[in-house]
Amino acid sequence: MTEPSPVLVSACLRGVPCRYDGRDRRSGPLDELLAGRRVVAFCPEQAGGLPTPRRPAELRGGDGHGVLEGTARVVEDTGDDVTAAFVAGAERALAAARRAGCAEADLMPRFPSCGAGGVHDGTFHRDAHGGARA
């Protein structure tokens, strides 16, 4: 029987306190789901060089594809543009996943870096990480 491939997982979901507010979002159900699997925990925002804690950030002008194509930006609630750090973090996440041979990923929903299933719209109208941002 072949061993399942490793899974790339948002580091905050594995208990790493890497969110913008210095907290984690450990998930018991995800821990159960991944029991016995090899996990690569990764935080793209930290890997991109952003500090923890940091200002919350959201996408403006499009989605993650737009950011990579240069038509959208990632902006902190102060107005500072952190697009370059987010792109660097995404590239490093991809490189880490390829190095480890990950064939799947479990990522934090709605956050600008991990952002599986959609992200916030850049208006900062959602509570940061109370179910909203990373």
The two structure tokens encoding residue 43: 């935080």
Q: Residue 22 in contact with residue 53, Cβ under 8 Å?
A: yes
Partners of residue 39 on adjacent β-strands = 7
Give 41's contacts (C-beta < 8 A, 6+ positions apart).
9, 10, 11, 13, 14, 16
Closest CB to ligand SF4 among 59 and 114? 114
| Least spacing, CB of residue 47 vs ligand SF4, in Å | 8
Closest CB to ligand SF4 among 73 and 111? 111
| Least spacing, CB of residue 2 vs ligand SF4, in Å | 28
Closest listed residue to residue 42, CA positions, set 118, 105, 133, 121 = 105
Q: Is 101 helix (H, G, I), strand (E, B) or coil?
A: coil
Q: Which residues are at the interface with ligand SF4 (CB under 6 A)?
A: 10-12, 18-19, 43-45, 108, 111, 113-114, 134
| Least spacing, CB of residue 49 vs ligand SF4, in Å | 12
Nearest to ligand SF4 by Cβ — which residue? 134
Closest CB to ligand SF4 among 1 and 90? 90
Closest CB to ligand SF4 among 15 and 61? 15
